């Protein structure tokens, strides 16, 4: 039986393990927290720091193949393991490109994949030279996550809020629509593409409000987006699963925003709404099985369940019973004991042939379900 | 977080745990084999004999609530635990009735639920008195499983093959169709009923060939079957999930064959084909959440994957890759290391709006997929 190691033990690892139980594979997880969401669904749990060379190397030597559920891993250890024959999904070259926003932007440019115009910045004094480049968005090259490490610089007065670290400065795009596509690349280099999802953001919190699948797009934009996502995944020259976020501007131009080389929040709806889920697909790639069917059984909507602001301590799911009464909703809670403001605690997928029904149920769920904490701030 | 103990660690436990990862519940499993299918998907695994009073009692004292994935458990320990306040799904009274085929048949009779006419037999000398009752089927009162503990007695010469143990002798019914219905009963006594499935058996091996959902039945028989299944589940006076097997004869009479007080092989298709799966439903009952939606997203067919005869040792899944190419098939393998003739190693569910497509894919899967063993007999 193939021994599969997963670096990281969050909800993505948890859902991957739920699916892995359908296949003959021996699962291993490494994470620093022995009570993380993935700790109790694997065959072997190893407590260790995924950013530490020795820990990752030792873990990798115990398994046949490795994958990640977060990019923030020790890449030098992975390179050594790869040289010594461990299969890694994605390969370290792809991971390196994606881990650094600077390399990632250069990769898009080299491969003629449309992306927002950008400048590379090493520190604030360099940043100050780009007054004429505003309005722009500055993104830290490494370490950003879920909206952190990003700052909007609209006017030159904003420059003092900029980062004093290696980063990219991107021309601001007037986003009309944000979409995401997941592309699978088999060990033989064969691709499969999931239908695009459309992300709807809360304009105040800049947090995902909900996402719809399929995205409602004119055919010409859909085709452009699919071609670009395929181009990103193929040019990374690695088997694996890739989530490509794209921005559509008001003129119908499509730009790659960023890529994740792993299962992704934008693919959770595939668990119930598609023939093959993103988790099943990644396992098929790793186990060298045929790629699965990316088609939808029904259109879907996915909402993250996030901790309410100013609520800490043990999570309490207010309104859960009412949400569980919704006849076409599927609830996933991630087993995180403690909540905090904005923490992803779970998600709900709704499936329906009627878009209006999806939107109605989403509204109901958002109104009903609140993650509170036992300690008030 | 509620501590849920599961007695038994087979595939039913495994699939229950896959689903339990969506809810805030701390899972415990007890089974004698530390490499059983459910051993590595729970929070706490306890190695122990589920038929042993002390083992079950000690295990039960560590959790808040218990369920079973096999009836062959120590019921005296469960009775003591129940008296001391542990919630048990199903309750011990229901479990006792079902565990004994004698009590089960008497229960149907007392509650006026049609079932094949029967006699209670204690030993072979009693059996010999019932020559006039033949053709009949003799079933051991306890210990039968998956076709074992059952003998056909067509003529008086067959009586010498009968069991010399407590058993029931049932008048043979000319079965036109075998169906199964799963009924959920909430902690408040509220019922929910899944659509019936139709079992198609291999006439030679008396093993399930495949099952179809929904069963194709005239409305009057469907209504009769649903009423009977509901009557069985309600009269057991216990919250829990109940799988009720029914026989339809050539005159359209419906008889209860037997009942399982737990998740069941006949409900596996609900994982992908229904809004709420049987596993999700049992968890909702145990966690006192609202019952789920039993409706089908699409019609489905389910096939068990069983070990080929005369094949032992480490399991090898011949044809798995071809089956994984079928666009509307979902493969579940149970993580059993060793195969043997007739052993349930996994199942495949196919979903489609077209019955002909379901049957076609089933035929393909049966032809392609063979569980071989590394040691030949």
Q: Which pLDDT tens digit goes with each residue over B326-368?
A: 999 999 999 999 999 999 999 999 999 999 999 999 999 999 9
Mean pLDDT of chain A, nearest integer: 95
| Candidates B22, B331, B351; nearest CB to A332 | B22
Q: Please say whether the beta carbons of B314 and B373 come within 8 A.
A: yes
Quick one: tokens of B207? 């093993």
Check residue B144 and give its pLDDT: 72
Neighbouring CB atoms inside 10 A of A193's CB total: 17
For A133-146, the pLDDT digits (tens) are: 999 999 999 877 66
Picking from B93, B80, B87, the residue whose alpha carbon sits closest to that of residue B63 is B87
Contact B344, B338 (CB under 8 A): no
- B189 by Cβ neighbours in 10 Å (0-12 / 13-18 / 19+) ranks as exposed
Q: Nearest 5 degrees, angle CA A247-CA A233-CA A176?
A: 5
A204 versus A167: the higher-pLDDT residue is A167
Residue of B nearest to A275 (CA): B328
Across A23-111, the runs of DSSP E, i.e. the strands, are: 25-31, 44-47, 65-68, 87-89
E strands, A186-279, are 191-193, 197-202, 207-213, 240-249, 254-260
Rounded Cα gap, residues A223 and A241, in angstroms: 20
* Closest chain A residue by Cα to residue B320: A289
- At A206 the pLDDT is 62
Token pair for residue B91? 């309750």
Q: What is the pLDDT of residue A375?
A: 84
Of A24, A289, A332, the CB nearest to B324: A289
In this structure, what token pair is assigned to residue B295? 């409706």
Sole residue written with tokens 């199942």: B347
| Residue A213 to residue A269: CA distance in whole angstroms | 8
Does the beta-carbon distance from B324 to A23 stay under 8 Å? no
Q: Which fold has domain B175-376?
A: D-amino Acid Aminotransferase; Chain A, domain 1 (3.30.470)
- Closest-approach residue (CA) in chain B for A13: B21
How many CA atoms within 13 Å lie on the side-chain side of A171? 12
ipTM greater than cut 0.90: yes
φ and ψ at residue B246, rounded to 5 degrees: -125, 150
DSSP label of B205? T
Does B317 sit within 8 Å of A24, measured CB to CB? yes
- A148, with CB counted inside 10 A (0-12, 13-18, 19+), is exposed
Specify the range with the lowest mean pLDDT, choosing from A43-57, A243-257, B202-216.
B202-216
- Report the C-alpha dihedral over residues B28, B33, B35, B41, rounded to 10 degrees: -10
Residue carrying the six token digits 């968890």: B283
Helices (H), A144-269: 219-235
Coil vs helix vs strand at B215: coil
Contacts of B14 in chain A (CB under 8 A): 21
- Please indicate whether, in this complex, the C-beta atoms of B289 and A324 are within 8 angstroms of each other: yes
Q: Which of A292, A327, A333 sits opposite B293 (nearest CB)?
A: A327
Give the nearest chain B residue to A41 (CA atoms): B41
**Percentage of chain B surpassing pLDDT 90?**
92
Residue in A1, A41, A293 to test binding to B, most B beta-carbons within 10 Å: A41
CA-CA-CA-CA torsion for A39, A44, A48, A49, nearest 10 degrees?
-70
Give the minimum alpha-carbon distance from A185 to chain B in angstroms, rounded to a whole number: 16
> Quick one: pLDDT at residue A202?
73
Six token digits for residue B28? 């415990």
- Give the model confidence (pLDDT) of B41-92 as tens digits: 999 999 999 999 999 999 999 999 999 999 999 999 999 999 999 999 999 9
Residue A15 pLDDT = 98
pLDDT given for residue A145 in this prediction: 66
pLDDT for res A119? 96
Q: Choose among A42, A315, A324: nearest Cβ to B290.
A: A324
Domain coordinates in residue numbering, chain B: 2-89, 117-171, 175-376
Looking at residue A376, what is its pLDDT? 63
For residues B126 and B129, what is the distance between their CA atoms, to the nearest angstrom? Answer: 6
Query: Does residue B140 contact residue B149 with C-beta atoms inside 8 Å?
Result: yes
Three-state SS at B15: helix
**How does residue A351 score in pLDDT terms, banded at 50, 70 and 90?**
very high
Beta carbons of B75 and B98 less than 8 angstroms apart = no
Res B150: pLDDT: 92
CA angle, corner B208, sides to B205 and B214, nearest 5? Answer: 155
CA of A172, closest CA in chain B: separation in Å?
A: 39
Cβ atoms < 10 Å from Cβ of A251: 7
Please tell me the distance from the alpha carbon of residue B16 to that of residue B46, in angstroms, as a whole number.
17
To the nearest 5 percent, what fractions of chain B are helix, strand and coil? 30, 35, 35
CB A225 within 8 A of CB A254: yes
Does the reported pTM lie above 0.90? yes
Question: What's residue A205's pLDDT?
Answer: 64
Instruction: Please tell me the distance from the alpha carbon of residue A56 to that of residue A228, in angstroms, as a whole number.
Output: 33
- Please tell me the distance in Å from B11's CA to the nearest CA on chain A: 10
Select the residue of A42, A284, A351 nearest B40 (Cβ to Cβ). A42
User: What are the C-alpha distances in Å from B314 to residues A46, A76, B97, B333?
Assistant: 27, 37, 38, 14
Alpha helices for chain B (secondary structure H): 11-20, 53-61, 75-83, 92-99, 101-110, 124-127, 219-235, 270-273, 278-286, 320-324, 355-368
Cβ pair B298:A295 closer than 8 A: no
Cβ atoms of residues A98 and A245 within 8 Å: no
Mean pLDDT for A149-164 is 92
Look at residues A309, A180, A315, A178 and name the one whose alpha carbon lies nearest to residue A249. A178
Pick from B290, B330, B333: CB nearest A325: B290
SS3 B221: helix
How confident is the model at residue B375, as a pLDDT? Answer: 84
Which residues, 6 or more positions from B84, have their beta carbon under 8 angstroms from its beta carbon? none
CA A94, distance to chain mean position in Å, is: 15
| CATH 3.30.1490.20 at B117-171, yes or no | yes
Position of tokens 């849920």?
B4
Which residues lie across from A256 on neighbouring strands? A115, A246
Q: Each residue of A291-320: pLDDT tens digit?
A: 999 999 999 999 999 999 999 999 999 999
Q: Cα(B135)–Cα(B171) distance, rounded to whole angstroms?
A: 6
DSSP three-state, residue B350: strand
CATH code given to domain A2-89:
3.40.50.20
SS3 of residue B291 by DSSP: coil
* H-helix or E-strand spanning residue A126: helix A124-127
**b vs e for B292-312, b when ≥16 Cβ sit within 10 Å of the residue's Cβ?**
bbbebbbbbbbbbbbbbeebb
Q: How far is B119 from chain A (nearest CA, A)?
A: 43
| A357 close to A369: Cβ distance less than 8 angstroms | no
Q: Which two tokens stand for residue A97?
A: 């490109």
Handedness of CA A58, A64, A67, A71 (dihedral sign): positive
Nearest CA in chain B to A331: B22
Between strands B370-376 and B25-31, the pairing is unpaired
| Token pair in block for residue A140 | 């830290």
Give chain B's residues under pLDDT 50: none
Same fold, A2-89 and A117-171: no
Which helix (H) or strand (E) segment is B201 a member of? strand B197-202
């Amino acid at each position: 039986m193939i021994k599969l190691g997963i670096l990281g033990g969050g909800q993505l690892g948890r859902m991957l393990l739920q699916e892995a139980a359908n296949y003959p594979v021996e699962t291993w997880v490494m994470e620093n927290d022995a009570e993380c969401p993935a700790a109790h669904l694997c065959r072997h749990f190893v407590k260790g720091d995924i950013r530490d060379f020795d820990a990752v190397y030792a873990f990798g030597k115990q398994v046949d193949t490795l994958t990640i559920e977060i990019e923030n891993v020790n890449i030098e250890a992975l390179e050594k393991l790869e040289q010594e024959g461990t299969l890694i999904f994605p390969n370290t070259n792809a991971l390196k490109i994606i881990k650094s926003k600077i390399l990632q932007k250069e990769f898009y440019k080299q491969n003629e994949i449309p992306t927002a115009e950008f400048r590379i910045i090493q520190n604030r004094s360099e940043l100050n030279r780009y007054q004429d480049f505003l309005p722009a968005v500055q993104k830290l090259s490494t370490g950003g996550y879920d909206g952190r490490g990003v700052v909007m610089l609209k006017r030159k007065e904003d420059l003092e809020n900029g980062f004093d670290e290696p980063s990219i400065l991107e021309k601001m795009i007037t986003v009309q629509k944000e979409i995401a596509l997941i592309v699978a690349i088999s060990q033989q280099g064969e691709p499969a593409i999931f239908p695009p999802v459309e992300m709807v953001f809360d304009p105040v919190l800049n947090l995902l409000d909900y996402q719809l699948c399929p995205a409602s797009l004119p055919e010409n934009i859909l085709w452009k987006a699919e071609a670009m996502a395929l181009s990103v995944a193929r040019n990374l020259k690695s088997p694996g699963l890739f989530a490509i976020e794209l921005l559509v501007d008001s003129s119908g131009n499509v730009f790659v925003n960023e890529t994740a080389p792993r299962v992704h929040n934008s693919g959770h709806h595939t668990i119930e709404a598609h023939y093959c889920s993103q988790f099943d697909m990644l396992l098929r790639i790793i186990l060298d099985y045929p790629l699965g069917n990316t088609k939808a059984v029904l259109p879907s909507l996915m909402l993250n369940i996030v901790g309410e602001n100013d609520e800490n301590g043990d999570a309490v799911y207010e309104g859960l019973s009412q949400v569980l009464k919704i006849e076409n909703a599927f609830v996933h809670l991630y087993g995180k004991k403690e909540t905090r403001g904005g923490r992803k605690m779970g998600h709900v997928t709704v499936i329906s042939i009627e878009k209006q029904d999806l939107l109605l149920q989403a509204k109901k769920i958002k109104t009903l379900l609140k993650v509170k904490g036992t300690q008030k701030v």
